[in-house]
Structure 1
Amino acid sequence: MDDTAGLDPELIRFLREELDVDVPVAGNGWEFTGPLWLWRPKAQDDAAKTTTTAWHFLTIDGDVAAALRAAAPGRSAAWGSVYVKVNLGTSSWETSVFPSKDAGGYLLPIKAAIRKKQGIAQGDVVTVQLSV
Structure 2
Amino acid sequence: MRFVFTGRVVEWRGPSPYYFVPVPGEESADIREVATMASYGWGVIPVEARIGETAFATSLFPKDGGYLLPLKAAVRMPCGLGADDEVTVEMTVRLGVA
TM-score, normalised via structure 1 length: 0.66
Q: Deviations over 1:40-66 (max 9, x none)?
A: 12xxxxxxxxx5x10001111311111
Q: What is the aligned partner in structure 1 of residue 10 from structure 2?
A: 37
- Deviation above 2 Å: which 4+ runs of structure 1? none
Query: Which structure's residues are more often strand, by fraction?
Result: 2
Alignment length (residue pairs) = 93
Alignment of structure 1 residues 1-132 onto 2, 5 Å:
25=1, 29-41=2-14, 53-101=16-64, 104-132=65-93
Structural RMSD (CA): 1.2
Distance 2:35 2:90 in 1: 16
Identity %: 38
**Aligned-residue offset at 1:79:** 1.5
Distance 1:99 1:124 in 2: 21
Distance 1:91 1:31 in 2: 15
**Aligned-residue offset at 1:121:** 0.8
In structure 2, give the amino acid aligned to 1:112: A
Could you tell me which runs of 5 or more consecutive residues in structure 1 were left unpaired when the two chains were aligned. 1-24, 42-50
Distance 2:11 2:85 in 1: 11
Larger Rg: 1
